[in-house]
Amino acid sequence: MALRSGFRKDKGSGGFVHVDKKLIFEGSSWIEQTGSVSIFEDFISSPDTILTQSPNYLVTQAGSPLTAGIITATGGGTASVGHGGWIGGKTDDVDANIVDEISLGGTAAAGWMLPSRAGNGMLVCEIGFVIPTALTARQYFAGLSDDAIEGTSDGALNISGTYTTVAQADDAAGFIFSSLATAPTIWKYASSAATVVSAASAAKEAVTGTVDAYTVCRVEVDSAGNAFFYQSTSGSTAIGRQAPVYVGSTVSAVTPTVLLLPKFDAAATTTTGVEWEIDYMFGACAR
């Protein structure tokens, strides 16, 4: 049988399609990869394994944590057990502002997701977790930040009281669950672009959360740095992960040229240990 000579289809704006036809590169020509790069971490490993770092994530706990970050098969409480693996821990209790930080990808000094590369698409971060105990003397952050390690200062974004948002990160966008917040006390969303902090979301956007309710927080950022927030919380009739729904946005939320990464923080507001349990972390962006 004779070898097929192959052919090339010209699809106009859709580019060329080569069928059984080789490409010959000369000089300094190359193929540039397109599409997206993504990381999904489900924390599936040997149960009761203490893992502070893997190729996909980094766990940083200030002081002497009461429970080191550990892989578990029983996180999420009775309503959300399963869903793959979990990672959980508990902060130190010697002081307020003690924080545990869990980040996806990147390094301790930089992120890996660049909003300006999004084009007509979105940079996406999603985290599934539960708050194991009542929201008392504690706060959590779930979203995007420019640093894997912010230090002992309540995490990337926090609420110091009422609606007052405080940014430890120069650039960040995400959800804040804070016992210091009011109206609502359950969660708010906010952002910081080059230290310029947005107002926290209003009470009309509240979702009532309960202990051990499975919570999903999703943040999408476009190429201009605008952030869009999606959230869901399970209930007595809707157990486990629920698809997040749109709850609001902030304009010029982050600097488009600053590298970001998905991040979860747990911090104490007084001398108490703060528990945290994460089911999965996901991030995706254009190459």
pLDDT at residue 203 above 60? Answer: no
> Do 142 and 149 touch, CB atoms closer than 8 A?
no
DSSP 156-213: SEEEEEBTEEEESSSSEEEEEEETTB-SSSS-EEEEEETTEEPPPPPGGG-----TT-
Determine the pLDDT at residue 232: 87
pTM here is 0.83
Rounded average pLDDT over 261-282 = 92
Mean pLDDT of the chain: 82
pLDDT at residue 118 above 60? Answer: yes
pLDDT at residue 229 above 90? Answer: yes
- pLDDT tens, position by position, 78-108: 556 556 788 999 999 887 778 899 999 866 6
Domains and CATH numbers, the chain: 37-286 (2.60.120.200)
Rounded average pLDDT over 270-274 = 88
> Do 283 and 124 touch, CB atoms closer than 8 A?
yes
